[in-house]
Amino acid sequence: MEKDYSITFFYYEDIHAVAPFYENVLGFELVLDQGLARIYRIAGKCYFGIVDGNRGHLKHQEKSAVLLTVISQDVEGWHSRMKEAGVKGLSDVLRGTYCEHFFFEDPAGYAIEIQRFHNPDVAKLF
C-alpha cells in the first residue's frame, strides 16, 4: 500500500510550555492547532506534533527514550543557533563514519539531533 507521509508525536505534561521552543527556537511551521495537539511541518512532507499527555492517546513520561533527528546540510549553523538559544544538553558537533551531528534537549527533556550525512553513498539513500 502507498504511504503518503508520517507525523511523529511527542507527549507532554504541558504543550503550551514547549510550543514556543518548537515554533521560535527551532522555527517549525505550525500547520494545525487541534487544541490537545499541535502539528508542525519540519520540511516538505515531514511532520512533527506535540500532544497534551494528560488527554492524548498516550501519557507523558518523566524520561523519554526517543530521539527526533532533523537532517540539515548546515549542522554548524544549527549548532550556533542552539548555542545562542541556550538549549539544554547541547553536545559538541560530532563526526562519525556516516554523519556529522549534535544533540540537545527540548524544555521537557526530549532528545533532538541535527545531522548531515557526509558519506555520499549514505546521503544518496535519502
Task: Show contacts of 82-91: CB within 8 Å, 24+ apart.
Answer: 82/25, 82/114, 85/25, 87/25
**Residue-averaged pLDDT of the chain:** 94
C-alpha cell at 89: 544538553
Asked whether the domain spanning 64-126 has the same topology as the one spanning 1-54, the reply is no
Multiple choice CATH, 1-54, 1.10.760.10, 1.10.260.40, 3.40.50.2300, 3.10.180.10: 3.10.180.10
pLDDT of residue 2: 82
Q: List the domain boundaries for the chain.
A: 1-54, 64-126
- 9 has pLDDT over 90: yes
pLDDT of residue 62: 83
C-alpha cell at 17: 510550555
pTM assigned to the model: 0.89
Per-residue pLDDT tens over the stretch 35-89: 999 999 999 999 999 999 999 888 888 888 899 999 999 999 999 999 999 999 9
Please report how many Cα atoms fall inside a 13 Å half-sphere around the Cα of residue 56, on the Cβ side: 21
Backbone φ and ψ for 58, nearest 5 degrees, come out as -110, 170
pLDDT of residue 3: 84
CATH class of 64-126: alpha beta
